[in-house]
Structure 1
Amino acid sequence: MTNSIMLSDNVPYKISQFFRTSNFDSLIFKNDSSLLNEILLDTKIKKDLKGKNFFYAFDYFFNIINQHYKNEYVFKNIIANRLIKGRHKLANVAYMNEFHVLNSICDVAIFNGTSTAYEIKTGLDNLDRISSQLTDYKKVFEKIFIVCDDSKIKILEQTLDKDVGIIRLTHRKQMSTIREASSNIENLSISALFKSLRNSEILDYMKKKYDYIPDISPKKTRNDCLNLFQKMDIIEAHNVFVNILRKRELKNEEKRSIEKLPFSLLALMLNIRPSLRRLKIISSRLENQIL
């Protein structure tokens, strides 16, 4: 859609802000064009978008940040499109951004037949926290990948444990596996799996599995559920963990609506999970012309 073009200073960064939830909501639901107007001060962009609609514009903007400001959102969106929409067709799989794991936050977590963590390291990132992040992830995920650009591959190959996979993100929006991840199942922690689930999710499971009746004290209920969870072996506990999280997958109507939206917005939609009513508003707004 776009060739490599010369842009005014700071424009790629400003464009990247369109893929933040608050700015997207302001544009779509509040008709706030202040950020867009700043970007349209660039004459090349204004010319390219003349007569185009927002559907076109978001993919156009995504291609610009992929070329000039490859931030975390670029990585998340390519992971979502290649693995969730491409490989799984949005079916029988749950995708989560910013998944809390003990003292860390995993950039992308995917739950299908197993649990997989994708930690993103862009060219803008340092590797200061990677050791503590991986320590936490190994207690919850069977497989772990670091997704990075060319600048990080060599040092990651030298420093990461051999069971951690490495994926290179290419300029053509593809994912190339440099090193496959191996199973980490023997290192999982039952208590860490438990802590990664919502109270409502674990209580619903315990009611169905053990006919558990919750105590009047939420704290005692949580402790009771943990004791029941810890009676499982690690394989069973992990399977329960994955199956519970897979229930967070999109409903069929949500899938159909999101599939019709631009490539560039998939990760954002999977993150904010807009209602069907709001999805209709988004779809309608994207058909409007920019200029």
Structure 2
Amino acid sequence: MIEIKNDIESLRSLSQIFTPSNFKKIVRRKDYSYTNNRINKHVSFQTPTNKKNLIEFLYQELQTNYKSEYLYKNALINKLLLGKYSLNTTTIINEFKIGGSIADFVLLNGEARIFEIKTELDSLDKLSKQVSDYCQFANKIYVVTNSKFIDKLISEYGDSNIGIIEYTQQNTLKEVVEAKDNSTYFDHLTIFKTLRKQEYLDIVNQYFGYLPNVPNTQIFKECVSLVRHIEVKEFQ
């Protein structure tokens, strides 16, 4: 029998097991120290159990009592990447900087879609700024959230291009408002700043057949000036 301390702090601590940084430690170095530390602190069991069964139990417990951001992202991957799009033609980016904001979940498949997650544990204080930044980059933007925020989001964004998805009590995703195309808001500079240096140099060279002959300190500015001559939808 497995027992978990069912207070918010314990559940929050256990939810940190399910993070990309911890999974990297496990996969790359077989380092379970972080996982073991959290389990030993918050979980007790009367009979020995293997890690696989224990992790599955913890995941189910979090689905019931502490719906963290990881659960939302996992649901998005299962529904979109595994259920709708091809692994061969789709790229998912976790925590992607756009303007002054960090997008939770970005899906690239011929167009860019952003899924901003607001769990019941979050607030909506930063959402307006986040949406404003994302509109300059993504074709479609969705807010994925708990029922707690649905009415407020419909009131605020129901007549806009922003889509709304509910993460239900059954741990499924339900589209409440469909996202509309957002390309009229694209901004060259915002898109440009998401690129690595070699990426924007390749784009400039491809479109114009040359690279600016300027000192390295001026290459960014000159390339920005050039790409502004590319139609923004094509540049995106």
Give TM-score, length-normalised by structure 2: 0.86
Assess if the C-alpha contact under 8 Å between 1:11 and 1:39 holds in 2: no
**2:61 aligned with 1:39, yes or no?**
no
Partner residue in 1 for 2:225: 227
After superposition, the C-alpha distances for 1:230-273 in whole angstroms (9 at most, x for unaligned) are: 112222222xxxxxxxxxxxxxxxxxxxxxxxxxxxxxxxxxxx
Deviation at 1:53, TM superposition (A): 4.3
After superposition, the C-alpha distances for 1:37-79 in whole angstroms (9 at most, x for unaligned) are: 54256335x65x72x343x443432222222111111111211
CA distance in 2, matches of 1:34, 1:184: 42
2:83 partner SS: helix
Partner residue in 2 for 1:119: 116
Partner residue in 2 for 1:82: 79
Letter in 2 for 1:203: L
Partner residue in 2 for 1:13: 12
After superposition, the C-alpha distances for 1:135-163 in whole angstroms (9 at most, x for unaligned) are: 11111111110000111101111112521
Aligned pairs, number: 230
- Pair 1:122–1:170, CA change in 2 (3 A): same
Letter in 2 for 1:43: S
Could you tell which deviates more after superposition, 177-186 or 226-235?
226-235
Partner residue in 2 for 1:255: none
CA distance in 2, matches of 1:35, 1:95: 25
Letter in 2 for 1:188: F
**2:103 aligned with 1:106, yes or no?**
yes
Please show how residues 53-68 of structure 1 align to structure 2 within 5 Å.
Answer: 53-54=51-52, 56-68=53-65
Letter in 2 for 1:18: I
Larger helix proportion, structure 1 or 2?
Answer: 1
What percent of counterpart residues are identical? 29
Give TM-score, length-normalised by structure 1: 0.71
CA distance in 2, matches of 1:146, 1:234: 24
Superposed CA RMSD: 2.4
2:116 partner SS: strand
Letter in 2 for 1:33: S
CA distance in 1, matches of 2:93, 2:184: 24
Partner residue in 1 for 2:156: 159
Partner residue in 2 for 1:210: 208
Letter in 1 for 2:221: N
1:110 partner SS: strand
CA distance in 1, matches of 2:17, 2:106: 23
In the alignment, structure 2 segments of 5+ residues that lack a partner are none
Misfit runs of 4+, over 6 Å: none
Larger strand proportion, structure 1 or 2?
Answer: 2
Assess if the C-alpha contact under 8 Å between 1:14 and 1:35 holds in 2: no
Structure number with greater CO (CA < 8 Å, separation at least 6) is 1
Letter in 2 for 1:185: S
